[in-house]
Amino acid sequence: DQSGLAYSVGTTLDRFIKLKQSDFPFASGELSQLLRDIALASKIVNRETNRAGLSNIGGAFGQTNVQGEEQQKLDVIANIRFIRALSKGGEVCAIVSEEEDAVIDLNNKSGKYVVAIDPLDGSSNIDVNISIGTIFSIYRRKTPVGSPILEEDIMQQGTEQVASGYVLYGSSTMLVYTTGFGVNGFTYEHSLGEFFLSHPMIKAPESGSIYSINEGTQEDWNPGIKEYIDDCKVKKYSARYIGSLVADFHRNLLKGGIYIYPATKKNPNGKLRLMYEANALAFIAEQAGAVATDGNKRILEIQPTSLHQRTPLLIGSKNMVAEALQFSNKTE
């Protein structure tokens, strides 16, 4: 019974954001507007995603990004859409994006917030009609509003996030976010053009029976990870791996499971990026009662030292991650 609450399943995202503004007693509404800007850009990317097969926006863009990945056209389109929405919104002073080598300084004298974003997650799945996503982290700048952006405004630990979230362009399109008061999920209704609250106060199961890892690279893992995955097989857990972090994470968050992108010989620090992949999902995970670690340290407490820095990631149900760590620490 939700009759005592001001919101319930079916509340629109806009209304929900407005109602939840009271979680921040001194908030002036800028964070709320920023979340709305992100929702708007995600609707546009959703539209592009839905018709990708028809409108000649599939395939490679013809350039590589700073991490040496071949950019897909939709990577570039999503990057442009989000940057445009965040610049026009007026609340943001700087953006870190997977698709941009350097920090984008918006020269916005009134912007209080810094956003780190993976505009399009799961690039390899675009052309084969499989779920993809967007991941975002929001920080408050440390230096005074209106002064030049400094390194300390950008290089913040995940614990400093004021909000984070993701959009999953899946069988339904969903936006899931947290501002540090639980995790709420919204499902997009195409004909109305609105996100509606569908998954209030998401709680991750403490245990689960799904493991998600790219097993093709197992020869390159440390032996502990290999032993843990062998144990998952002994227990007859289900292997599920989409190759879009957002989709793999979302499934495990709801059903109970563990996602691992370990250090490999090719990627000694793992593949996933701390600032716009791991941190955002770690914040969501913890808010839902799950956990996220690099194998030694809580993801949210890693001090970033470079924009595109990578980190190994073990994320998901509490008990599963604890067990995986027992295996991986044993053999170190």
Residues 115-134 that bind Mn ion (CB under 5 A): 118, 120-121, 123
Nearest to 169 by CA among 246, 61, 79: 246
Nearest to 259 by CA among 277, 236, 235: 277
Our finding on whether 58 is near ligand AHG (CB under 6 A) is no
Our finding on whether 71 is near ligand AHG (CB under 6 A) is no
User: Token pair of 239, please?
Assistant: 């292997």
Distances in Å between the Cα of 267 and the Cα atoms of 12, 124, 139, 281 are 42, 18, 28, 20
Task: Enumerate the H helices of the chain as residue ranges.
Answer: 13-20, 30-50, 73-89, 151-154, 223-234, 245-255, 279-287, 318-330
Determine if residue 39 is left, alpha or beta; phi over 0 gives left, psi from -120 to 50 gives alpha, anything else beta: alpha
- Of 271, 287, 300, 314, the residue at the interface with ligand AHG (CB under 6 A) is 271
**Which x/- pattern over 73-112 shows residues binding ligand AHG (rule: CB under 6 A)?**
-------------------------x--------------
Residues 223-262 that bind ligand AHG (CB under 6 A): 243-245
- Of 37, 91, 118, 153, the residue at the interface with ligand AHG (CB under 6 A) is 118
Nearer to Mn ion, 31 or 85 (CB): 85
Considering only the stretches 67-75, 175-183, 250-258, 301-309, report the one whose residues sit in contact with Mn ion under the rule CB under 5 A: 67-75
Lookup result for tokens 């909000």:
163
Give least dist CB 249 to ligand AHG, A.
Answer: 8
Our finding on whether 173 is near ligand AHG (CB under 6 A) is no
- Of 14, 48, 69, 323, the residue at the interface with ligand AHG (CB under 6 A) is 69
Nearer to ligand AHG, 197 or 232 (CB): 232
Give residue 42's Cα distance to chain centre.
13
Nearer to ligand AHG, 108 or 123 (CB): 123
Nearer to ligand AHG, 71 or 287 (CB): 71
Considering only the stretches 46-54, 92-100, 142-150, 234-242, report the one whose residues sit in contact with Mn ion under the rule CB under 5 A: 92-100
User: Token pair of 332, please?
Assistant: 């170190």
CA atoms within 13 A on the CB side of 270: 22
Give least dist CB 121 to Mn ion, A.
Answer: 3
Phi, psi of 195 (to 5 degrees): -90, 135
Cβ proximity of 321 and 299 under 8 Å: no
Which positions lie near ligand AHG, rule CB under 6 A? 69, 98, 118, 121-123, 214, 243-245, 271
